[in-house]
Structure 1
Amino acid sequence: MSFLSRIMDVKSKAHFSHGGNGRPAGATASTAFQGHRKRSASQARSRVAVVMAVFGIAYCVVGGRLVQYGITAPESVSSIGPADHLLASRPDIVDRNGEILATDIRTVSLYAEPHKIVDVDEALEQLHTVLPELDPKATYKKLTSKSRFQWLQRQLTPKQQSRILALGIPGVGFRPEKRRFYPSGSASAHIVGYVNIDNRGIAGMERYIDNQGLADLAALGMTSDAKMEPVRLSIDIRVQSMLHDVLTQSVAKYQAEAAGAVVLDVHTGEVLAMASVPDYDPNNPAESAKDGWLNRMSDGTFEMGSTFKTFTTAMALDSGKVKLTDSFDARYPIRIGGFTIKDFHGKHRVLTVPEIFQYSSNIGTAKMADIVGIPGHKEFLTRLGLLSKMQTELPEVKSPSQPREWKKINSITISFGHGVSTTPLQTAVAGAALVNGGKYVPPTFLPRSRDEADAMAQAVIKPSTGEDMKFLLRWNAMNGSGKRALVPGFNVGGKTGTADKVVNGRYAKNGLNFNAFLSAFPIDDPRYVVLTFIDAPKTGEGGGRTAGLNAAPMVGEIIRRSAPLLGVKPKFGEDGSALLVSY
């Protein structure tokens, strides 16, 4: 044993043999051991209490957060942002009778969180079994991107969502969204318009609603999922669907490129129905034909042909320089500026004003315009809104075109509808002013009362001129080119217009026409104007292709089917008191 070990052994024996405080050595050792045990136990209990307290606090925090998540709206705690901030509610669009034309429906869109996807190839392969239209390369790029969120497919069907859920792909989820639905489909497409994938108005009244402030509120995040008051339009979906059906059938029947029509309330300016075909399906606008985007009624300008003779005749009568009983020499063509103005079916004799209107004499109409003069001619057409851009709610409105400088040759050709291009809708609005007592009322696609219309109406012709025009329109329908527009009991009056079609700034040399018919009914006390056009028809009733053989029959069909819906009662007999009796 070493020296150091011996010293330590001696110290140990001395400690236990002498003890402390006069107590025996054995008692001292026992007391020390007991104190050590108590201290160890106390420390252990303290440590367990601390651990329990820590776990208790942790569980309380977790439980509290779970309760918070349970009572909070899901979108406010979502890592990808509130759904309704992206696609806030849009107001329903309804017709004048409350029938829904556009509404929001709830749907879901598929997204991926690339950092959570375990096997990209397997995920892509599984998704492709449900969504075969997905672009494999683009989708793979999204699934392998470093971003934490990627859209994969917007607006899924419930069946697609169910099948994808069954696949159980990690890192793939669904987000609630809204989709705009149009129950009437293409029937009212050019009026109602459509929205894009983010529910923003792109065309028609959908765009108008956004322009009234909805788009600005959405951009500021001030819209919500709350139900909004519907936007009521002036159109009647019953008449609208019927009118669209007539146009679709006419394009096929007359082998035409396009067609359009409008039914307008002459006193309030309300558009009851308006359509242009080809058109598109607002529920799936991306697959529409290219030509279907153009609303030819308000966003297309055309030379309206002999329908303009209605305005020229009204101008001459309203000026006081021409009376209904006057006559004009239509025996010889007019030669001016290297051009020869002649009649299509010339009578080669002196014609009265009603005969000029009935036979659609270019010569007689030009001479009436010449009496009024160029300044008066231009001012009158401006007064009727035919030379300026039409003001209405629909965003798709094109400005008319006219010569930069009006010369005599321009005034002559414009008198019978060549040289000025206007939209068919503003032609109908101008026509309404000729039969409603002489008041120009701007068109509207929103409900408008008679009092509201009268407050904004502008007198453009004398009441006596209006009475003369109603007589001439009825005279032409009974004895002239508008016979095929007649509907028993409804006293239709109107004027045809057959114009050479303008193609790339030149008149077509292959005989293509742009045909129109401007009418009003019942002509003794007009309530509605109906205007139709048909573009480049290859045939018509009886084989011809002038306006009286295709545009006029279209008006007749529209009036026959719409008049009962509009509450217009038929009148039979000379005084209108006879009843139609069926046995």
Structure 2
Amino acid sequence: MISGLPRIGDLLKRRKKQAEDGSIVVDAARKATGGKARTRIVMTMAVFFTIYSTIAGRLVYLGLQNPDLSGGPESRVTASRPDIVDRNGEVLATDIKTASLFAEPRRIVDADEAIEKLSTVLPEIDYEQTYRKLKSGAGFVWLQRQLTPKQQSDILALGIPGLGFRTEKRRFYPSGETSSYIVGLTNIDNQGISGMEKYIDEQGLSDLQASGLAVARDLKPVKLSIDLRVQHVVRDEIAAGLERYRALGAGAVVLNIKTGEVMAMASVPDFDPNNPYNAQEKDRLNRMSAGLYEMGSTFKSFTSAMALDSGKATMNSRFDASHPIRVGHQAIHDFHGKNRVLSLPEVFLYSSNIGSAREAELVGIEGHREFLHRLGILDRMQTELPEVARPTEPKVWKQVNSFTIAFGHGVSTTPLQAAVGCAALMQGYLIEPTFLVRSEEEAMAVAKRVVSDKTVEGMRYLYTLNAEKGSARNARAPGYRVGGKTGTAEKVINGRYSKELNFNTFVAAFPMDDPQFLVFTIADAPHPEKPGMTDVAANNAGVMAGNIIRRSAAMLGVKPDFSHENGATLVSYQ
């Protein structure tokens, strides 16, 4: 053994120990390194999971929302409107869903190709305008509003990138032309622009739409006073009259005398609110409330009532109609003069212009003007319908004005106002008309006394007498005890009276022992129905009124009564 060198056994033991110590160190290092790696992996996975979860959540959210259309429509485009129904709950107007086509020009690949394809489904599309829209580079443009389901399906089948659809609401009118002037119209953005649709907006609906609170389930239907069954009758009769008499226009209104409710009202020519392409044509206006006309002899109802109510005349009063009245260079004649002194009933029965002028002379100019204003004939009518014209009258009433106004020339008013005034003569109270449901109690709360009961009694008699023996005979309806008055006025054209064209009116009330309803009809520039016939009101406006009463009286709840089918008997007046 060499001195100073370790023994082999000791050396082996030392190396073995070193080896064992090294393995422990390596193992520890390995364990430390492996733990940190796993932590990094878990953290990385967590970060990616969070990112992808956020993205997925955002996609789901956006998928449930309307697309963000830069420059797109405001919320009011799809705002809901309440249904409009008649007094029996029949739907007159309601919302339906429709699709509107839009484009995102930034995503349009080939504008020419897109237009070519679209024209196969929408042949009316404006090439130049559409091309400018598609090349504008904007984020959003409307291409076509309110498509049919088939059009939407066909456009989808074209597969044009950059096009899309938005669900909107539009108005649908089940009754079409029947009640178009009453119900009215909405524009492309579902906002009311005429009729009761406009009235509803003015009552606060437009504010609800602007605030986003016009939710369909919260909007109660708006119930109108009209009866759709009667409305159909009225529209049918005036449309037939328009054709039969080759007139420029025709119209009618049915009023509830006790409540002032408009049970039906129509004017032709009219329009289809579901396709109102011709609604703005010259002759398409609501002649009943927006047209101003001289009413002719129907105005004699007011003149006779005025004379009776003034206390200066009675049924026994007599008026000299033996010769024309001359005022300056003008002369007032009778159409079919009796050329003698007439009693007040005869003035009404024979529709004497001279006799009516004498009645006005008896009352005086100021009394005459005051009476017409008292009945609302010369003031703008207060009602829900927006389309109401303001009557006209002379700035200064002279004697000649009072004379001519007495028989319906020289002032212009609306047929609806004339009807309301005549209704007041049948019960003594002026009740402004309404297109909403109203009870008798509610009506009397706003009614205004305008004539005495004795005047009412006298006017009922005169109407009945005229239906039995005078010009109102064509409006008689067996069992319904009709009374009325005709009016044939020369039509004013360019400020001059026409000798060839008339504006004819007819007023009828029934049943005359206690009038419940009033019918007022007009015929604008009618022609004789047959050769040899005349174009006076009795032959057109009177006929239409009679037909309306015969067809609708039962619907209005008036039972026929044949016990009164006898001649009118003059009552005793003191």
TM-score (norm 2): 0.91
Whether 2:479 is the aligned partner of 1:475: answer no
Whole-Å separation in 1 of the counterparts to 2:304 and 2:188: 50
Deviates more, 1:162-171 or 1:257-266: 162-171
Taking structure 1 as reference, are residues 220 and 335 closer, same or farther at Cα in structure 2, changes over 3 Å only? same
2:138 to 125, 141, 147: 147
* Deviation at residue 259 of structure 1 after TM alignment: 0.6
Whether 2:554 is the aligned partner of 1:550: answer no
> Partner letter of residue 533 of structure 1?
I
Taking structure 1 as reference, are residues 191 and 566 closer, same or farther at Cα in structure 2, changes over 3 Å only? same
Whether 2:136 is the aligned partner of 1:130: answer no
* Deviation at residue 137 of structure 1 after TM alignment: 1.4
* Deviation at residue 31 of structure 1 after TM alignment: 11
Q: 1:416 — aligned with what?
A: 407
Whether 2:106 is the aligned partner of 1:115: answer yes
- For residues 154-191 of structure 1, the C-alpha deviation after alignment (integer angstroms, 9 at most, x for no partner) is 01111111111122221111101001001111111111
2:558 to 568, 571, 576: 568
* Deviation at residue 388 of structure 1 after TM alignment: 0.7
2:393 to 396, 402, 414: 402
The SS at the match of 2:242 is helix
Whole-Å separation in 2 of the counterparts to 1:80 and 1:65: 23
Whole-Å separation in 2 of the counterparts to 1:47 and 1:121: 55
Whole-Å separation in 1 of the counterparts to 2:55 and 2:71: 22
* Deviation at residue 29 of structure 1 after TM alignment: 12
Q: 1:92 — aligned with what?
A: 83
* Deviation at residue 24 of structure 1 after TM alignment: 13
1:160 to 151, 155, 174: 151
Q: 1:522 — aligned with what?
A: 511
Q: Superposition pairs for residues 350-365 of structure 1, below 5 Å? A: 350-365=341-356
* Deviation at residue 287 of structure 1 after TM alignment: 3.3
> Partner letter of residue 198 of structure 1?
D
Whole-Å separation in 2 of the counterparts to 1:441 and 1:85: 37
Q: 2:160 — aligned with what?
A: 169
* Deviation at residue 395 of structure 1 after TM alignment: 0.5
Whether 2:237 is the aligned partner of 1:239: answer no
The SS at the match of 1:501 is strand
- For residues 88-123 of structure 1, the C-alpha deviation after alignment (integer angstroms, 9 at most, x for no partner) is 110000000000000000111111111122232222
Q: 1:7 — aligned with what?
A: none
Q: 2:192 — aligned with what?
A: 201
The SS at the match of 1:56 is helix
Whether 2:373 is the aligned partner of 1:385: answer no
* Deviation at residue 504 of structure 1 after TM alignment: 1.8
Whole-Å separation in 2 of the counterparts to 1:298 and 1:289: 16
Q: 1:458 — aligned with what?
A: 448
Contact 1:84 1:224 in 2 (8 A): no
Q: 1:497 — aligned with what?
A: 487
* Deviation at residue 556 of structure 1 after TM alignment: 0.5
Q: Superposition pairs for residues 438-449 of structure 1, below 5 Å? A: 438-449=428-439
* Deviation at residue 413 of structure 1 after TM alignment: 0.3
> Partner letter of residue 555 of structure 1?
A
1:59 to 52, 60, 81: 52
* Deviation at residue 329 of structure 1 after TM alignment: 1.5
Whether 2:260 is the aligned partner of 1:296: answer no
Whole-Å separation in 1 of the counterparts to 2:324 and 2:139: 79
Whole-Å separation in 2 of the counterparts to 1:106 and 1:96: 26
Whole-Å separation in 2 of the counterparts to 1:84 and 1:94: 26
> Partner letter of residue 352 of structure 2?
S
> Partner letter of residue 536 of structure 1?
A
Whether 2:496 is the aligned partner of 1:506: answer yes
The SS at the match of 1:543 is coil
* Deviation at residue 285 of structure 1 after TM alignment: 1.3
Whole-Å separation in 2 of the counterparts to 1:452 and 1:470: 25
The SS at the match of 2:409 is coil
* Deviation at residue 85 of structure 1 after TM alignment: 4.4
> Partner letter of residue 373 of structure 2?
T
> Unaligned regions of 5+ residues in structure 2, if any?
1-14, 567-574
Contact 2:71 2:141 in 1 (8 A): no
Taking structure 1 as reference, are residues 293 and 40 closer, same or farther at Cα in structure 2, changes over 3 Å only? farther
Whole-Å separation in 2 of the counterparts to 1:47 and 1:114: 47
- For residues 437-487 of structure 1, the C-alpha deviation after alignment (integer angstroms, 9 at most, x for no partner) is x11111000011000111111111110111111111110111111111111
* Deviation at residue 32 of structure 1 after TM alignment: 11
> Partner letter of residue 49 of structure 2?
G
Whole-Å separation in 1 of the counterparts to 2:178 and 2:463: 30
Contact 2:333 2:354 in 1 (8 A): yes
Contact 2:378 2:413 in 1 (8 A): yes
Taking structure 1 as reference, are residues 259 and 164 closer, same or farther at Cα in structure 2, changes over 3 Å only? same
Whether 2:307 is the aligned partner of 1:326: answer no
Whole-Å separation in 2 of the counterparts to 1:507 and 1:81: 54
Whether 2:95 is the aligned partner of 1:104: answer yes
* Deviation at residue 59 of structure 1 after TM alignment: 2.2
Contact 1:89 1:226 in 2 (8 A): no
Deviates more, 1:315-324 or 1:567-576: 567-576
Contact 1:280 1:289 in 2 (8 A): no
Whether 2:276 is the aligned partner of 1:285: answer yes
Whole-Å separation in 2 of the counterparts to 1:179 and 1:267: 37
Contact 2:72 2:141 in 1 (8 A): no
The SS at the match of 1:294 is coil
Whole-Å separation in 2 of the counterparts to 1:517 and 1:59: 79
Residue correspondences, number = 551
Whole-Å separation in 1 of the counterparts to 2:479 and 2:565: 11
The SS at the match of 1:508 is strand
Contact 1:271 1:445 in 2 (8 A): yes
- For residues 475-526 of structure 1, the C-alpha deviation after alignment (integer angstroms, 9 at most, x for no partner) is 01111111111111111101100000011221124x1100001110111110
* Deviation at residue 144 of structure 1 after TM alignment: 1.5
Q: 1:536 — aligned with what?
A: 525
- For residues 525-566 of structure 1, the C-alpha deviation after alignment (integer angstroms, 9 at most, x for no partner) is 100010001011111466210011111111100100010111
Contact 1:496 1:516 in 2 (8 A): yes
Whole-Å separation in 2 of the counterparts to 1:39 and 1:570: 109
Q: 2:474 — aligned with what?
A: 484
The SS at the match of 1:152 is strand
Q: 2:421 — aligned with what?
A: 430
* Deviation at residue 127 of structure 1 after TM alignment: 1.5
Contact 1:539 1:545 in 2 (8 A): yes
Whole-Å separation in 2 of the counterparts to 1:189 and 1:101: 9
Instruction: Percent identity, please.
Output: 58
Taking structure 1 as reference, are residues 168 and 508 closer, same or farther at Cα in structure 2, changes over 3 Å only? same
Whole-Å separation in 2 of the counterparts to 1:135 and 1:544: 51
Whole-Å separation in 2 of the counterparts to 1:288 and 1:384: 32
Whole-Å separation in 2 of the counterparts to 1:292 and 1:449: 35
Contact 1:513 1:537 in 2 (8 A): yes
> Unaligned regions of 5+ residues in structure 1, if any?
1-21, 577-583
Taking structure 1 as reference, are residues 244 and 574 closer, same or farther at Cα in structure 2, changes over 3 Å only? closer
Q: Calculate the aligned-residue CA RMSD, in Å.
A: 2.6
- For residues 259-313 of structure 1, the C-alpha deviation after alignment (integer angstroms, 9 at most, x for no partner) is 1110000110000000111111111112346035411101111000000111000
Deviates more, 1:245-254 or 1:37-46: 37-46
Whole-Å separation in 2 of the counterparts to 1:575 and 1:184: 37
